Structure 1
């Protein structure tokens, strides 16, 4: 199996393919805005996690598409979880769901359209890591937070854990 197929499988598993864990699109289905805003004891919310995933997936996707990684050391990771209090309607929540979904679709298309040479190209400014490794780690990051979303969803919706 090629590296590209493995990455496509990982991206699909995170986004829409029920395999080893429930994918993000399934986790967000039928979650209301008020449920998405509910905070656990650690101050995490489904919406905040979706914003965080959107930020990092869009950031690395743009870097991959452009072929350049200008690392911004001024990024405050905590700020990637923030939900804008002036945009907390049901419509805004649906837009957040659509945005992360569209980002996954763009990732899948970008990997599908890439060749092995691009996937194997190293990123000098990022520990000389090859792109395939970075994309794989983005997927691991996604899976980690999808698990957190699953636990929050179960808690807020009163589902069995």
Structure 2
């Protein structure tokens, strides 16, 4: 067992490999745009969290592929949750889901093609963290938000059962 196989296992457990929890792909597959955009009392929606996951998975994949990390960032994390209220329709939701699938497949490919030494390389401008640690924490970040998405879906289904 090496870093690469562990990280691939974590990544796939988050997206499409049912293990300790229901993977993201399975949670999202039966939702339409209106359901994904539904907000609870805290103004959270499944769609907004998926946008956030897309953003950070893409950002870290870009950094990983370029082997660079900009030390100063102008990213406002709250902006990564944004859903355009004028684009809430099933076509845009399907595009969001496709983007999610693409980034997880791209991460799989990047890790599979990586040399083992890359994963132990430290990132000086990011606390000297090794890449394996960064990718592992990205998976933990994904799992955290997958839990939120699952709770939002349960709330949504509970509300729809009450109105039936």
The TM-score, its normalising length taken from structure 1, stands at: 0.96
Q: Aligned pairs, how many?
A: 160
Return closer, same or farther for 1:54/1:71 CA change in 2, 3 Å cut-off: farther
Report Cα offsets for 1:29-48 as digits up to 9, x if no partner.
Answer: 11011011111121110000
- Pair 1:34–1:72, CA change in 2 (3 A): farther
Deviations along 1:60-110, one digit per CA (max 9) or x if unpaired, are 000000000114431110010010122111100011011011100000110
Gaps of 5+ in 2: none
TM-score (norm 2): 0.94
Query: Runs ≥4 in structure 1, deviation > 6 angstroms?
Result: none
Per the alignment, residue 73 of structure 1 pairs with 73
5+ residue gaps, structure 1, are none
Q: What is the alpha-carbon root mean square deviation over aligned residues? A: 1.3
More helix by share: 2
How far, CA to CA, are the matches of 1:72 and 1:135 in structure 2?
Answer: 20
Cα distance in 2 for residues equivalent to 1:140 and 1:83: 23
